[in-house]
Amino acid sequence: MPRNVPLPSECAELDGLMRRHGDRARFRTLTRVDVGTRSLPLVAVEVGSDDERAPTMIVVGGVHGLERIGARVVLSYLRTVLEALRWDEPLRRSLEHARMLFVPVVNPGGIALGRRSNPRGVDLMRNAPTADSWESTPLVGGHRISARLPWYRGDEPGEVEPETRALLDVIGHHAFESERALSIDVHSGFGLQDRLWFPYARTRQPLPNLAELGHLFERFDATHPNHVYRVEPQAQAYTISGDLWDHLYDEYRRAQPSGVFLPLTLEMGSWTWVRKNLRQLTSREGPFNPKAPHRERRIRRRHFTLLDFLWRCVCSPAPWHAWTPQERAEAHQRAFARWYA
Ligand SMILES: [Zn+2]
């Protein structure tokens, strides 16, 4: 491992936000990750109500060190929220009863080293202590063969990396008491289209909250009919073992059987950027990040409509609980026909 690695610009950006807005949000260092001579903080930022039962939106980025643009999208939204808090009365009021939790840079060591995994070679998105797939899973879905290969899950089942532990603990602490919670984890990968994935990742079976999830996206389609996303179960692309969101979803359900937690992953389609700039394939930052500054700015703001929509859902009780059993069964059937039939 190199001794001198540059400070990731995303860590510097987060530090700048803490200096400027430290009085408006609760910044907390969850753990530190050592890379060469550097010790990089893994930081969570909590905004709004500190009531443990408050509805919660969780926004996560930078799980994979090669997908830096994901961290930058999260940082951009965090900056907008913190600035708006100076003057935006409706936002301030909504935050009296609900909360946002940001973990913008989950894998600072991977970003510093320019690799997908953490510094120990573990793919954090394959590192959950449970959630093994029982369906046939390709190499990309996680393996324990060698840390030299991508998608490595770690040596021992049940053992988790410090970054994974920090993320699981902070979400457990802030969301497992909430009666409703939503999360969005921002990645950047192959393909031309921006995709929204939902659990399960380990199996092609539908998740127990398919009705609520289908209903959420029916509302999204109706409210934003020109949105850009393709919505699908993660496992439709490929199944994964050790997916953090599968694990957190199951744990939440154990802790809060009558509540609802909907974890989403935004997989930004980076091929459009590659197509427009082939040099990106050989970029030092890897192929999954836009190279041109104007393109980066466009992507930094592109998902604000989605994030605002998710926040309004978190703040609005009616869509989550105003169900008769009949309505819920019908919503389940529609969602099943949309994604699983
Ligand atoms: Zn990723």
With 70 as the cut, is the pLDDT of residue 319 above it? Answer: no
Name the DSSP letter for residue 41: E
CA 98–ligand 1 middle distance (angstroms) = 28
Mean pLDDT computed over 260-265: 97
CA 119–ligand 1 middle distance (angstroms) = 16
CA 186–ligand 1 middle distance (angstroms) = 8
In a domain, 26, yes or no: yes
CA 123–ligand 1 middle distance (angstroms) = 9
Q: What is the pLDDT of residue 278?
A: 64
DSSP one-letter string for 136-154: ---GGG-BSS-TTSTTB--
CA 29–ligand 1 middle distance (angstroms) = 23
CA 253–ligand 1 middle distance (angstroms) = 25
Count CA atoms within 13 Å of residue 133 on its CB side.
Answer: 28
Peptide bond into 200 cis (omega under 30): yes
Q: What is the pLDDT of residue 291?
A: 77
CA 189–ligand 1 middle distance (angstroms) = 6
Instruction: Give the number of other CB atoms < 10 A from CB of residue 198.
Output: 25
CA 41–ligand 1 middle distance (angstroms) = 20
CA 284–ligand 1 middle distance (angstroms) = 17
CA 141–ligand 1 middle distance (angstroms) = 12
- Residue written as tokens 């961290």? 71
Instruction: Give the number of other CB atoms < 10 A from CB of residue 34.
Output: 12
In a domain, 3, yes or no: no
Look up residue 273 and give its amino acid. Answer: W
Q: How far apart are CA 162 and CA 290, in angstroms?
A: 29
CA 154–ligand 1 middle distance (angstroms) = 17
Tell me the percentage of the chain whose pLDDT exceeds 90. 74
Q: Which of 126-135, 154-163, 166-175, 205-214 has the lowest mean pLDDT?
A: 126-135
Beta-ladder partners of 337: none
Q: How far apart are CA 277 and CA 17, in angstroms?
A: 31
pTM of the predicted structure, to 2 decimals: 0.94
In a domain, 4, yes or no: no
- Determine whether 43 is exposed, middle or buried from the number of CB atoms within 10 Å of its CB (0-12, 13-18, 19+): buried
CA 117–ligand 1 middle distance (angstroms) = 10
Instruction: Give the number of other CB atoms < 10 A from CB of residue 319.
Output: 15
The secondary element (H helix, E strand) that includes residue 103 is: strand 99-103
| Cα R_g (the chain), whole angstroms | 19
CA 69–ligand 1 middle distance (angstroms) = 10
Q: What is the pLDDT of residue 281?
A: 60
Q: How far is CA 305 from CA 20, 83, 274, in A?
A: 25, 17, 24
Q: What is the pLDDT of residue 68?
A: 94
pLDDT 10s digits, 241-257: 999 999 999 999 999 99
CA 333–ligand 1 middle distance (angstroms) = 31
Domain count, the chain: 1
Tell me the percentage of the chain whose pLDDT exceeds 70. 94
Greater confidence, 272 or 6?
6
In a domain, 92, yes or no: yes
Q: Tokens for 113? A: 């080293």
Look up residue 55 and give its amino acid. Answer: P
In a domain, 98, yes or no: yes
CA 159–ligand 1 middle distance (angstroms) = 21
CA 38–ligand 1 middle distance (angstroms) = 24
Give the strand pairing for 195-198 and 26-35. Answer: unpaired
CA 7–ligand 1 middle distance (angstroms) = 21
CA 265–ligand 1 middle distance (angstroms) = 9
Q: What is the pLDDT of residue 108?
A: 98
Q: What angle do CA 150, 153, 159 make, to 5 degrees?
A: 150
Q: How far apart are CA 28 and CA 44, in angstroms?
A: 5
Q: How far is CA 133 from CA 52, 203, 238, 239, 243, in A?
A: 32, 6, 11, 7, 9
pLDDT 10s digits, 39-97: 999 999 999 999 999 999 999 999 999 999 999 999 999 999 999 999 999 999 999 99
With 80 as the cut, is the pLDDT of residue 321 above it? Answer: no
- Determine whether 1 is exposed, middle or buried from the number of CB atoms within 10 Å of its CB (0-12, 13-18, 19+): exposed
In a domain, 1, yes or no: no
Host domain of residue 171: 9-339
Q: What is the pLDDT of residue 294?
A: 85
Mean pLDDT computed over 143-170: 90
Q: How far is CA 113 from CA 44, 195, 199, 220, 341, in A?
A: 21, 27, 29, 38, 43
Are 209 and 336 within 8 A, CB to CB?
no
CA 65–ligand 1 middle distance (angstroms) = 8
CA 91–ligand 1 middle distance (angstroms) = 30
Name the DSSP letter for residue 236: G
CA 321–ligand 1 middle distance (angstroms) = 32
Q: What is the CATH number of the domain that holds 220?
A: 3.40.630.10
